[in-house]
Chains A and B, each alone.
Chain A
Amino acid sequence: MVLRGAGATLPHRLYAHWIERYERMVPAVHVDYQAVGSASGLRQLYAKMADFGASDAPAHDAPFDLLHVPTAVGAVALAYRLPGLDAPLVLRPTAIAAIFGGDARRWTDRRIQEDNPHLQLPDLPVTPIFRSDGSGATQIFTEWLGEHAGSKRRGMVAHFAAGIGARGSNGVTAAVTRIPGALGYVEVAHARASHLVVAEIASRAGDAPVALDDESVDLAARSLRHDLPLTTRLGTNLPGSYPLTSFTYLLVPRETADDGRASALARFLFWVLGPGQEDCAPLGYRPLPVAVAARARRDLVSELRAGSRAALRAD
């Protein structure tokens, strides 16, 4: 039996690892995941050419009911290249919006300096680096900026007024490492792998800046909001939680025909939400908080229907 999935490129390594492990355990099931990008994956899912999709951001425009299954916790880092600084850079939404909007052109700009009284910022031009191709990271970044700095541009493809658009996370990494004074947003897995220097972030005026590390991401992940519609980001109000944290989702149709595939997929997801979670950390993600994984498992049982019966049955 072949289950077809298509979607986001970033979790590809994680999903490939899960698939490989699961197929060894359950040889009868073969999962074929194509990392074609969140939007392409959704298109295939809506056209019923894929059994599940994968996206860093919730899908709001599906033609049929989808269950969003969180599978791991990821975060978006703000990486920069400023040689000679002896402490991490601190950034707040106003400064970031000014940079990406083209208003703050040099690192000595008042808005950036305000957030960093402890640093002697060099007089270099700021080059914001954004994703020229669509990505979940752009969605997370723009939604956060939209909520805290009022910018209008949101979505997977964002048109920024300044800087360089780079292709893929690799492109952003390449640009940040090559251009002095660059500032780019990139998934934490890439930032860690390339040893990029990342900024400390604070969402609101009175918040203390938070460094990007396992604890701050885990803290953010634990403050999930259980209401629908799903938001991209998690609660940012806990002190010490990293604001640009989000789940990455697998999207599954709630109602499918009763041909065994829905059950097989549900069982695979059930495993991902259990034993699979231990694979997250080595691959640059954080595992889901226990409560979130448990709730997601309950949803698999109660929400997925194959034909007239539940897809996931005790057997």
Chain B
Amino acid sequence: MLRADAAAERRRAARQIGFSRRAGLLVAGASGGSALLAAAVVAGALAVTFALAWPSLRAAPLSFLGGASWDPSTRVFGALPLIAGSALTTTVAIFLASPIALGAAFFLGEVAPRESRPILDAVLDLATAIPSVVWGLFALDVILPALASHLYPVIYGDRAAEVSPGGFGLLSGGIVLAAMIVPTIAGVAREVVRAVPDGDREAAIALGATRWEVVRLVVLPPARAGLVGAVLLGLGRAVGEATVMSMILGGRAQIPTALASPGATSSSLLLDQLAEATDPPHVAALGHVALALLLASLLSHAVARLLVARSTTARAARGLP
């Protein structure tokens, strides 16, 4: 009697183990498959872009990037105006956004009272979720007119309306981009700052460090790499932003003469022209731009994730509390 029970018990136990082993395999398979799928999508995007760009790559892989003129009607394609546009807008954006975002991140990670953190965190996360088109409309209706009437006359005097008619142009693009990426950078930077263990802070305070010394000696060093990573993520978003740029840059694929001149970025040009281009050299040139953009984005994103990972997991990996 007891033996039968025991046998039944063992069978039941064996079935349970079998079930959990199967479940384990299923989960492993599904998640592994998803990871493979994600990698396949990236590889697919690279392959398609490469194929699109092939005629242009075959002809002039690198000199294309230095070509100063982009004119579909005469079939002259050079990517320099777009590279200049992307570089200008993202530089302005990073320059303006980083101090604000990092400051906000420090406030949220270090200074803000604990009770307020959930609400403030939620507000920041909401800001990240504002759709690009909404930013574009806000920029057109509020930001550009404000820049055109108050900032550009100060910089350019009487020539303001000629340099940047209505406020359309690359400097405006950079300023709007800065506003858009502050939440992105601040969100990641906040987590990086918070990842520094409280134990380290407490140890420093116990040794007599002031608030500022704690930040300088205990929080910043391990967080530094991650903060750079956060900024790089913001840069990635800035480079990829197409909708808003298309609406406010003034759509001119030429090398800008002034900071506030109309121009175009790689992303905004692709958005404008790819759907309507039929001429094969035009399509190939657009593919070439897309490939350069894709590779640059992948690279900066990869570096960013690496740096952030170093900051947030390094101390945990060292086994410190």
Contact = CB atoms under 8 A, between A and B. Distances in A.
A121 B229 CA distance: 55
A40 interface: yes
Contacts of B72: 155, 157-159
B247 A39 contact: no
B140 interface: yes
A37 B166 contact: no
Contacts of A38: 276
Given A156-B276, A159-B73, A125 B165 contact: yes
Given A166-B251, A182-B165, A133 B145 contact: no
Contacts of B73: 142, 152-155, 157-159
Given A133-B272, A159-B71, A105 B162 contact: yes
Contacts of B71: 153, 159
B276 A175 contact: no
Contacts of B251: 130, 132-133, 164-167
Nearest to B71: A159
Given A157-B72, A157-B73, A163 B275 contact: no
A133 B72 CA distance: 12
A290 interface: no
Contact of A39 (B140, B161, B276): B276
Contacts of B162: 105, 125
B276 A133 contact: yes
Interface residues of A, number: 41
A165 B250 contact: yes
B273 interface: yes
Nearest to B246: A167
A232 to B, nearest CB: 15
B276 A134 contact: yes
Contacts of B278: 39, 42-43, 61
Given A155-B72, A167-B251, A133 B275 contact: yes
A125 B161 CA distance: 7
Interface in A169-213: 171, 174-175, 178-182
B253 interface: yes
B254, B275, B282: most-surrounded residue (chain A CB, <10 A): B275
Nearest to A133: B272
A236 interface: no
Contacts of B250: 132, 163-166
Contacts of A153: 71, 73-74
A178 B161 contact: no
Contacts of B140: 174, 178
Given A105-B162, A132-B272, A157-B72, A164 B252 contact: yes
Nearest to B280: A61
A39 B246 contact: no
A43 B283 CA distance: 12
Contacts of A171: 247
Contacts of A127: 161, 165-166
Contacts of A105: 162
Contacts of A241: none
B166 A134 contact: no
Interface string B130-147: 000000000010001100
B106 interface: no
Contacts of A179: 165-166, 168
A175 B275 contact: no
Given A157-B72, A158-B73, A181 B275 contact: no
A36 interface: yes
Interface string B142-167: 00110000000000000001100110
Q: 3 tightest A-B contacts by CB?
A: A165-B251, A132-B251, A134-B276
